[in-house]
Amino acid sequence: MSVDKDKDGFKVGEGVPPNLVDPDDNNAAITPVTQGKTLGADYTDTRVFKQSISVTTRAEATADMNAAFMEQFGTSAPKEVIAAYYNELRALQSTRISGGESKDKSTTVNIQGVSGSEIKALQNKYVSANATALITASAAGDPKATAALQRGNFGITYTTLKNAYAENGMPINIQALNKLVIESSVNPGLLKSNLNLINMQAKVYFPALADKIDKGYTVKQLLTPYINTRANILEEDPDSIDVSTLKSVASDPKGLTGLYDYEISLRKDPKWRFTKNAQDSLGSLARDLTKMFGLAG
Protein backbone atom coordinates (compact mmCIF):
# COMPACT_ATOMS: atom_id res chain seq x y z
CA MET A 1 0.00 0.00 0.00
CA SER A 2 1.36 3.40 -0.96
CA VAL A 3 1.90 6.13 1.60
CA ASP A 4 0.73 9.67 0.80
CA LYS A 5 3.64 12.09 0.95
CA ASP A 6 3.79 15.84 0.60
CA LYS A 7 6.02 17.74 -1.83
CA ASP A 8 8.99 17.51 0.57
CA GLY A 9 8.86 13.72 0.61
CA PHE A 10 7.46 13.35 4.12
CA LYS A 11 4.41 11.33 5.15
CA VAL A 12 1.30 13.52 5.17
CA GLY A 13 0.30 14.55 8.71
CA GLU A 14 3.77 14.13 10.16
CA GLY A 15 6.15 16.97 11.05
CA VAL A 16 9.76 17.38 9.96
CA PRO A 17 11.94 14.94 11.92
CA PRO A 18 13.98 16.68 14.63
CA ASN A 19 17.28 15.58 13.18
CA LEU A 20 16.64 17.75 10.09
CA VAL A 21 16.49 20.98 12.09
CA ASP A 22 19.86 22.70 11.81
CA PRO A 23 20.66 24.43 15.15
CA ASP A 24 23.54 26.31 13.51
CA ASP A 25 21.48 27.80 10.72
CA ASN A 26 22.28 31.51 10.23
CA ASN A 27 19.59 32.10 7.63
CA ALA A 28 22.01 31.25 4.86
CA ALA A 29 20.64 29.69 1.69
CA ILE A 30 20.00 25.93 1.93
CA THR A 31 20.31 23.88 -1.26
CA PRO A 32 20.02 20.10 -1.89
CA VAL A 33 23.23 18.52 -3.10
CA THR A 34 22.58 14.75 -2.89
CA GLN A 35 19.58 12.47 -2.60
CA GLY A 36 18.53 9.17 -1.05
CA LYS A 37 19.08 9.55 2.71
CA THR A 38 16.98 7.00 4.63
CA LEU A 39 15.58 8.31 7.92
CA GLY A 40 13.66 5.26 9.14
CA ALA A 41 10.80 3.01 8.19
CA ASP A 42 8.28 5.80 7.80
CA TYR A 43 10.51 8.50 6.30
CA THR A 44 12.62 8.64 3.19
CA ASP A 45 14.22 12.06 2.60
CA THR A 46 15.30 12.85 -0.91
CA ARG A 47 17.60 15.67 0.18
CA VAL A 48 20.83 16.31 2.04
CA PHE A 49 21.37 19.95 3.01
CA LYS A 50 24.36 22.18 2.55
CA GLN A 51 24.61 25.68 4.03
CA SER A 52 25.95 28.17 1.47
CA ILE A 53 28.81 30.60 2.18
CA SER A 54 27.88 34.26 2.66
CA VAL A 55 30.29 36.61 0.85
CA THR A 56 30.02 40.18 -0.36
CA THR A 57 29.24 40.65 -4.06
CA ARG A 58 30.83 43.37 -6.16
CA ALA A 59 27.46 45.15 -6.35
CA GLU A 60 27.14 45.12 -2.56
CA ALA A 61 30.69 46.38 -2.10
CA THR A 62 30.06 49.17 -4.61
CA ALA A 63 26.85 50.24 -2.89
CA ASP A 64 28.45 50.18 0.58
CA MET A 65 31.52 52.19 -0.42
CA ASN A 66 29.46 54.72 -2.38
CA ALA A 67 27.23 55.18 0.67
CA ALA A 68 30.26 55.75 2.90
CA PHE A 69 31.77 58.33 0.51
CA MET A 70 28.43 60.08 -0.02
CA GLU A 71 28.01 60.48 3.73
CA GLN A 72 31.55 61.75 4.32
CA PHE A 73 32.36 63.65 1.08
CA GLY A 74 29.02 64.22 -0.65
CA THR A 75 30.13 62.24 -3.71
CA SER A 76 30.45 58.66 -4.98
CA ALA A 77 33.64 56.71 -4.41
CA PRO A 78 36.20 56.56 -7.26
CA LYS A 79 36.16 53.30 -9.21
CA GLU A 80 39.70 52.43 -8.16
CA VAL A 81 38.75 52.80 -4.49
CA ILE A 82 35.74 50.51 -4.93
CA ALA A 83 37.87 47.91 -6.71
CA ALA A 84 40.55 47.98 -4.02
CA TYR A 85 37.97 47.75 -1.22
CA TYR A 86 36.15 44.85 -2.89
CA ASN A 87 39.34 42.89 -3.50
CA GLU A 88 40.58 43.42 0.06
CA LEU A 89 37.24 42.48 1.59
CA ARG A 90 36.93 39.30 -0.47
CA ALA A 91 40.51 38.35 0.38
CA LEU A 92 39.69 38.80 4.07
CA GLN A 93 36.50 36.77 3.76
CA SER A 94 38.35 33.95 2.02
CA THR A 95 40.64 33.55 5.03
CA ARG A 96 37.71 33.29 7.45
CA ILE A 97 35.74 30.38 5.91
CA SER A 98 35.52 27.40 8.24
CA GLY A 99 34.06 23.99 7.44
CA GLY A 100 32.34 21.28 9.46
CA GLU A 101 29.32 19.02 9.76
CA SER A 102 26.34 18.89 12.06
CA LYS A 103 26.27 16.09 14.64
CA ASP A 104 23.99 13.90 12.54
CA LYS A 105 26.22 14.41 9.47
CA SER A 106 23.25 15.76 7.52
CA THR A 107 24.50 19.34 7.13
CA THR A 108 27.78 20.83 5.96
CA VAL A 109 28.31 24.21 7.64
CA ASN A 110 30.50 27.01 6.23
CA ILE A 111 30.78 30.28 8.15
CA GLN A 112 31.98 33.56 6.66
CA GLY A 113 33.34 34.97 9.93
CA VAL A 114 33.96 38.67 9.01
CA SER A 115 32.04 40.90 11.42
CA GLY A 116 30.17 44.07 10.59
CA SER A 117 32.61 46.12 12.66
CA GLU A 118 35.53 44.71 10.67
CA ILE A 119 33.82 45.63 7.41
CA LYS A 120 33.17 49.16 8.72
CA ALA A 121 36.80 49.49 9.78
CA LEU A 122 37.90 48.48 6.27
CA GLN A 123 35.59 51.09 4.74
CA ASN A 124 36.96 53.72 7.11
CA LYS A 125 40.47 52.85 5.95
CA TYR A 126 39.62 54.01 2.42
CA VAL A 127 37.62 57.00 3.67
CA SER A 128 40.61 58.07 5.78
CA ALA A 129 43.04 57.70 2.89
CA ASN A 130 40.83 59.89 0.68
CA ALA A 131 40.52 62.47 3.46
CA THR A 132 44.30 62.64 3.89
CA ALA A 133 44.75 63.17 0.16
CA LEU A 134 42.19 65.99 0.12
CA ILE A 135 43.72 67.84 3.08
CA THR A 136 47.23 67.56 1.65
CA ALA A 137 46.15 68.70 -1.81
CA SER A 138 44.14 71.59 -0.38
CA ALA A 139 47.12 72.75 1.68
CA ALA A 140 49.18 72.71 -1.53
CA GLY A 141 46.68 75.04 -3.20
CA ASP A 142 44.51 72.62 -5.19
CA PRO A 143 41.14 74.43 -5.61
CA LYS A 144 39.24 71.19 -6.37
CA ALA A 145 40.45 69.62 -3.14
CA THR A 146 39.58 72.76 -1.20
CA ALA A 147 36.06 72.69 -2.66
CA ALA A 148 35.73 68.98 -1.81
CA LEU A 149 36.57 69.74 1.82
CA GLN A 150 33.40 71.81 2.08
CA ARG A 151 31.03 68.92 1.35
CA GLY A 152 29.57 66.08 3.39
CA ASN A 153 30.15 65.19 7.02
CA PHE A 154 33.91 65.37 6.52
CA GLY A 155 33.63 68.93 5.22
CA ILE A 156 31.56 70.00 8.22
CA THR A 157 34.00 68.38 10.63
CA TYR A 158 37.03 69.82 8.84
CA THR A 159 35.58 73.35 8.89
CA THR A 160 34.56 73.04 12.55
CA LEU A 161 37.99 71.97 13.74
CA LYS A 162 39.91 74.35 11.47
CA ASN A 163 37.80 77.26 12.73
CA ALA A 164 38.39 76.16 16.31
CA TYR A 165 42.13 76.44 15.72
CA ALA A 166 41.76 79.85 14.06
CA GLU A 167 39.37 81.26 16.68
CA ASN A 168 41.79 80.26 19.41
CA GLY A 169 44.89 81.58 17.68
CA MET A 170 46.49 78.16 17.45
CA PRO A 171 48.98 77.50 14.63
CA ILE A 172 47.60 74.74 12.43
CA ASN A 173 49.73 71.65 11.98
CA ILE A 174 48.47 69.78 8.92
CA GLN A 175 49.26 66.34 10.34
CA ALA A 176 47.54 67.12 13.64
CA LEU A 177 44.49 68.61 11.93
CA ASN A 178 44.37 65.66 9.54
CA LYS A 179 44.33 63.20 12.44
CA LEU A 180 41.66 65.05 14.41
CA VAL A 181 39.35 65.54 11.42
CA ILE A 182 39.56 61.93 10.26
CA GLU A 183 38.97 60.37 13.67
CA SER A 184 36.14 62.83 14.38
CA SER A 185 34.49 62.10 11.03
CA VAL A 186 34.51 58.32 11.30
CA ASN A 187 33.66 58.50 15.01
CA PRO A 188 31.46 61.59 15.58
CA GLY A 189 31.54 61.01 19.34
CA LEU A 190 35.15 62.21 19.35
CA LEU A 191 34.40 65.65 17.87
CA LYS A 192 33.51 67.24 21.20
CA SER A 193 36.59 65.72 22.86
CA ASN A 194 38.84 67.09 20.12
CA LEU A 195 37.30 70.57 20.41
CA ASN A 196 38.04 70.44 24.13
CA LEU A 197 41.60 69.42 23.30
CA ILE A 198 42.04 72.55 21.16
CA ASN A 199 40.73 74.68 24.03
CA MET A 200 43.23 73.08 26.40
CA GLN A 201 46.05 73.82 23.97
CA ALA A 202 44.87 77.44 23.70
CA LYS A 203 45.11 77.80 27.49
CA VAL A 204 48.76 76.78 27.31
CA TYR A 205 49.43 79.08 24.35
CA PHE A 206 47.65 82.07 25.93
CA PRO A 207 48.03 81.54 29.71
CA ALA A 208 46.67 85.00 30.55
CA LEU A 209 43.30 83.91 29.12
CA ALA A 210 43.06 80.44 30.67
CA ASP A 211 40.24 81.21 33.10
CA LYS A 212 38.16 82.94 30.40
CA ILE A 213 38.67 80.06 27.95
CA ASP A 214 37.33 77.72 30.64
CA LYS A 215 34.14 79.79 30.62
CA GLY A 216 33.59 79.14 26.92
CA TYR A 217 35.13 82.23 25.31
CA THR A 218 37.43 81.94 22.31
CA VAL A 219 40.79 83.69 22.20
CA LYS A 220 39.60 85.83 19.29
CA GLN A 221 36.63 87.09 21.27
CA LEU A 222 38.84 87.95 24.23
CA LEU A 223 41.47 89.75 22.17
CA THR A 224 39.11 91.72 19.93
CA PRO A 225 40.27 95.10 21.37
CA TYR A 226 43.86 94.23 20.49
CA ILE A 227 42.84 93.03 17.03
CA ASN A 228 41.06 96.32 16.36
CA THR A 229 44.01 98.32 17.67
CA ARG A 230 46.40 96.47 15.37
CA ALA A 231 44.02 96.94 12.45
CA ASN A 232 43.87 100.70 13.03
CA ILE A 233 47.58 101.32 13.57
CA LEU A 234 48.98 98.98 10.91
CA GLU A 235 46.01 99.59 8.58
CA GLU A 236 45.13 95.92 8.26
CA ASP A 237 41.81 94.21 7.69
CA PRO A 238 40.74 93.00 11.16
CA ASP A 239 39.20 89.84 9.68
CA SER A 240 42.53 88.90 8.10
CA ILE A 241 44.60 89.24 11.28
CA ASP A 242 45.92 85.91 12.52
CA VAL A 243 45.11 85.71 16.24
CA SER A 244 48.37 83.82 16.83
CA THR A 245 50.28 87.06 16.06
CA LEU A 246 48.88 88.44 19.34
CA LYS A 247 50.51 85.78 21.47
CA SER A 248 52.81 88.32 23.15
CA VAL A 249 49.91 90.23 24.74
CA ALA A 250 48.60 87.12 26.54
CA SER A 251 51.78 85.18 27.28
CA ASP A 252 52.09 86.33 30.90
CA PRO A 253 49.95 84.21 33.26
CA LYS A 254 49.57 87.29 35.48
CA GLY A 255 47.52 89.17 32.92
CA LEU A 256 47.27 90.87 29.52
CA THR A 257 49.60 93.54 28.22
CA GLY A 258 48.00 97.01 28.50
CA LEU A 259 46.51 98.40 25.30
CA TYR A 260 48.67 101.54 25.47
CA ASP A 261 51.86 99.47 25.72
CA TYR A 262 50.61 97.36 22.83
CA GLU A 263 50.08 100.47 20.69
CA ILE A 264 53.66 101.57 21.35
CA SER A 265 54.97 98.16 20.34
CA LEU A 266 53.00 98.33 17.08
CA ARG A 267 54.56 101.66 16.15
CA LYS A 268 57.96 99.99 16.50
CA ASP A 269 56.92 97.41 13.90
CA PRO A 270 58.68 98.10 10.54
CA LYS A 271 55.28 97.77 8.84
CA TRP A 272 54.03 100.88 10.57
CA ARG A 273 56.45 103.18 8.72
CA PHE A 274 54.72 102.38 5.43
CA THR A 275 51.21 103.20 6.63
CA LYS A 276 49.35 106.42 5.92
CA ASN A 277 48.89 107.19 9.59
CA ALA A 278 52.67 106.85 10.07
CA GLN A 279 53.29 109.35 7.29
CA ASP A 280 50.70 111.70 8.76
CA SER A 281 52.22 111.37 12.24
CA LEU A 282 55.75 111.98 10.98
CA GLY A 283 54.57 114.95 8.91
CA SER A 284 52.81 116.43 11.90
CA LEU A 285 55.88 115.93 14.05
CA ALA A 286 58.06 117.65 11.46
CA ARG A 287 55.72 120.64 11.35
CA ASP A 288 55.69 120.86 15.13
CA LEU A 289 59.50 120.82 15.26
CA THR A 290 59.69 123.50 12.58
CA LYS A 291 57.39 125.75 14.59
CA MET A 292 59.30 125.01 17.79
CA PHE A 293 62.55 126.25 16.29
CA GLY A 294 60.93 129.16 14.52
CA LEU A 295 61.69 127.85 11.06
CA ALA A 296 58.16 128.10 9.72
CA GLY A 297 57.73 130.58 6.86
Contacts of 99 (CB under 8 A, 6+ apart): 108, 109, 110
CA distance linking residue 121 with residue 174, whole number of Å: 23
- What does residue 290 show for φ and ψ, rounded to 5 degrees? -65, -45
In this prediction, what percent of the chain has a pLDDT beyond 70? 70
Question: Of the candidates 205, 234, 268, which is a domain's last residue?
Answer: 205
Residue 132 burial (10 A CB sphere; 0-12, 13-18, 19+):
middle
Q: What is the pLDDT of residues 39-81, one digit of tens each?
A: 455 544 444 445 445 678 899 999 999 999 999 999 999 999 9
Q: What is the pLDDT of residues 2-22, one digit of tens each?
A: 444 444 443 433 433 343 333
Q: Are 201 and 63 part of one and the same domain? A: yes
Residue 10 lies in a domain: no
Q: What is the pLDDT of residues 213-253, one digit of tens each?
A: 999 999 999 999 999 999 999 999 999 999 999 999 999 99
Residue 244 lies in a domain: yes
Owning domain of residue 79: 55-101+113-205
Counting other chains too, the contacts that 45-51 makes at CB distance below 8 Å and 24 or more residues apart are: 45/9, 45/10, 45/20, 46/9, 47/9, 48/106, 48/107, 49/20, 49/22, 49/106, 49/107, 49/108, 50/107, 50/108, 51/22, 51/24, 51/25, 51/26, 51/107, 51/108, 51/109, 51/110
Which of 194, 228, 200 lies closest to 213 in space, CA to CA? 200
Stated pTM of the model:
0.66
Q: Are 183 and 251 part of one and the same domain? A: no
> Could you tell me if 271 and 234 are in contact, meaning their C-beta atoms sit under 8 angstroms apart?
yes
Question: Of the candidates 205, 236, 263, which is a domain's last residue?
Answer: 205
